[in-house]
Amino acid sequence: MAEGGAGVALLVPWVASYGAILLAAVMARALATRAGDGRRVDVMWISAYLVALAWIGFEWWTFRWRPRTRNTAA
């Protein structure tokens, strides 16, 4: 369920970084599971996805959603 919601979040620019972070956490757990099983080909693919998700999270971080703050200086 979290994977689907995070995948949809990747399509929306202001929440894409949050979706990428969530998917990277899921992929990190999958990486640990596959590495424990000794599946090296799966580990390489998951590592590539993990790097791509980290890049997406980093690149879209400046466009993330932030709550509005009131300007009380006026």
pLDDT in tens, 22-61: 999 999 999 999 999 888 898 999 999 999 999 988 888 8
Please tell me the number of Cα atoms within 13 Å of 16 on its side-chain side: 17
**Neighbour count for residue 30 (Cβ, 10 Å):** 17
- Say if 23 falls within a structural domain: yes
User: Structural domain tally of the chain?
Assistant: 1
Domain that holds residue 55: 2-63
- Say if 69 falls within a structural domain: no
- Say if 71 falls within a structural domain: no
- The Cα–Cα gap between 35 and 57 comes to 24
22 with 6: CB under 8 angstroms? yes
**pTM for the complete prediction?**
0.75
Six token digits for residue 44: 């390489």
pLDDT category at 74 given cuts 50, 70, 90 is low
**How distant, in Å, are the alpha carbons of 5, 27, 28, 41 from that of 47?**
21, 8, 8, 10
